[in-house]
Amino acid sequence: MVGRVSTSPQTIDYKGSFTLPGSPEQIWSELARFDRYESWWSWLTDFHVDGAGLATGSVLHGTVAPPLPYRMRIEVTLVRCVPHRSIQASVAGDLRGTASLLLRSAGAETKTDVAWTIEMMQRRLRLVARVARPLLVWGHDRVVAATVARFRELLRAAHDP
């Protein structure tokens, strides 16, 4: 499921629901493998973490490079982490806003709900959003689809003997 309600051309409000293979504990364990993020996702570079890993107070830093000719530096602060259940985060940098992740057990799988509201802060992107918002939304949606597809592959490989 994907939903979108926009408050301005420079803001992306996103809600999505996905089913992932594995238990919430297995999903959490893979999410905590920060050392592999750049090899997993080609759109992420310059990634590093300040803090105690996948825990409240940690700050994730990186550069997002979608399939469009722009780059965004971001900082994601983990505002609240409940292991194996949920993450609430704030986003700063070239994007600003909030994000959340909720994991719910569904037998051998996990139902995953994600949501974020992010505002583009780069002047160039704010101008492009006024005239070419569909292109920016397309880039956003490609990154989300690629991220989910790749994570599913990784989870299957990690749990198949």
pTM: 0.91
* Residue 103 in tokens: 């994991």
Structural domain including 57 reads 2-159
What's the whole-number average pLDDT of the chain?
91
Token pair in block for residue 126: 């704010």
What pLDDT digit, counting tens, does each position of 90-118 carry? 999 999 999 999 999 999 999 999 999 99
CATH of residue 25: 3.30.530.20
Residue 63, SS3 per DSSP: strand
- Torsion-angle region of residue 6: left (phi > 0), alpha (psi -120 to 50) or beta? beta
pLDDT digits (tens, 9 = 90+) for 68-79: 778 999 999 999
Distance between CA atoms of residues 90 and 88, nearest Å: 7
CA distances from 51 to 25, 55, 56, 61, 158 (A): 21, 8, 9, 11, 25
pLDDT beneath 50, residues of the chain:
1-2
Parallel/antiparallel/unpaired status of strands 109-120 and 95-106: antiparallel
Domain count for the chain, please give it: 1
* Close Cβ partners of 61 (under 8 Å, ≥ 6 residues apart): 46, 47, 48, 49, 50, 73, 74, 75
